Amino acid sequence: MAEPLILVDADACPVKEEIYRVALRRGTRVHIVSNGGVRIPDHPLISRVIVGEAFDAADDHIAENADAESIVVTADILLAERCLKAGATVVAPNGKPFTASSIGAAIATRAIMQDLRGSGDPTAAGRQKSFSKEDRSRFLQALDLAIDRMTR
């Protein structure tokens, strides 16, 4: 089986350093996809892909390049759905996997929250939970597990 490619939705990704560490340790290629100049380590396994400023340009690039040999790191539910349809493994930065069986509920929840925010419901604005050490640790485990599954 071919070595996986990690595609990272990088502009707001809080786990880039963790991705670099795992990729270098495992010998896995990484494409950091962004609209701007995200700094990356100088290493042949790690590439920067800068897309245009068009809305969803990074998402489009990732979705078009995702396949069964890709691990996509994103918190974007709609991008996760597109990548799952292409056969990719998708992991959120908090370590929670997006799967074919969980994506429908995630999309429905996203739509409900968007509608509530649009209606001015003050409870829908909510505060986003801060990114924790546990999230970081769960992500590292999930990324290692995804690579293990793909290289068996």
Least confident span in 2-6, 18-22, 55-59, 141-145: 2-6
pLDDT band at 113 (very low <50, low <70, confident <90, very high): low
| Amino acid letter, residue 79 | L
Does pTM surpass 0.75? yes
Q: What is d(CA 151, CA 1) in angstroms, rounded to the nearest whole number?
A: 6
What are the distances in angstroms from CA 107 to CA 9, 33, 96?
18, 23, 15
Asked, for residue 115, whether it belongs to a domain, the answer is: no
Tell me which residue range forms the domain holding 65: 5-100+132-151
Question: What beta strand segments (E) does the chain contain?
Answer: 5-9, 29-34, 46-50, 70-73, 89-91, 97-98
- Residue 51: which CATH number? 3.40.50.720
For the stretch 28-82, pLDDT in tens is 999 999 988 789 999 999 999 999 888 899 999 999 999 999 999 999 989 999 9
| Cα–Cα distance for residue pair 84/100, rounded to 1 Å | 7
Indicate the number of domains in the chain.
1
Helices 133-151, 16-26: inter-axial angle, 10-degree rounding: 30
- DSSP summary character for residue 75: S
Instruction: Show the tokens assigned to 81.
Output: 């759905």
In a domain, 119, yes or no: no
Which one is predicted more confidently, 64 or 131?
64
